[in-house]
Amino acid sequence: MTQVRWAALPIVDGAGPCTERDGYRVGFAQTQTGALLATYHYVVHGNVDAPGKGTRALLEYALLDGPLKDETLQHVEAVENGAKVRTPDADLASIQFMGYRIVAFDDESAVIELRAGVPDQAAGSLSVKLVWKDGDWRIDPASGSDWVSSCTDLDRC
């Protein structure tokens, strides 16, 4: 495990992340474990409302090219420049990882659902679709407006 701001990020030998680049880590195995680790790292380190060192570069690397990638990078820039409100790290520190579900997986794509919340308060899930491209898992945006799909009612997710 390595601590990155508010979250402990797991590192699994042989599954990833295997490469450090400009303040972020990538290089995940083409396995279910690799896809899960990629999803978790991308969600934590790719938080557009609380970007840190390496967030912009990580999203440039991880997101497939397209309009959503451009909008996401513009959003990160706006938060970094103070044009949009930044979510304080302290607000994120109380969020705990509660589990995961591998919704779909094959050698070329995966859909991973992460469950997280604030104990005794709120919980929800985030689903991320990944594709295997250029030797690593990359994010295939969930919709035209976001790279994750979310659900706040765990009984219905």
| Beta-strand runs (E) in the chain | 2-4, 7-9, 19-21, 24-26, 96-105, 109-117, 123-133, 136-139, 149-151
pLDDT tens, position by position, for the chain (157 residues)?
777 677 878 889 999 999 988 878 899 999 999 999 999 999 988 999 999 889 999 999 999 998 889 999 999 999 999 999 999 988 888 888 889 999 999 999 999 999 888 877 878 888 899 999 999 999 998 555 555 555 555 455 4
Can you give the pLDDT at residue 146? 57
**How far, in whole angstroms, is CA 22 from its chain's centroid?**
17
- Which of 42, 39, 49 is closest to 72 using CA atoms? 49
Can you give the pLDDT at residue 147? 56
pLDDT digits (tens, 9 = 90+) for 73-101: 999 999 999 999 999 988 888 888 889 99
**How far, in whole angstroms, is CA 135 from its chain's centroid?**
18
CA 105/CA 13 separation, integer angstroms: 21
Predicted TM-score (pTM) of this structure = 0.88
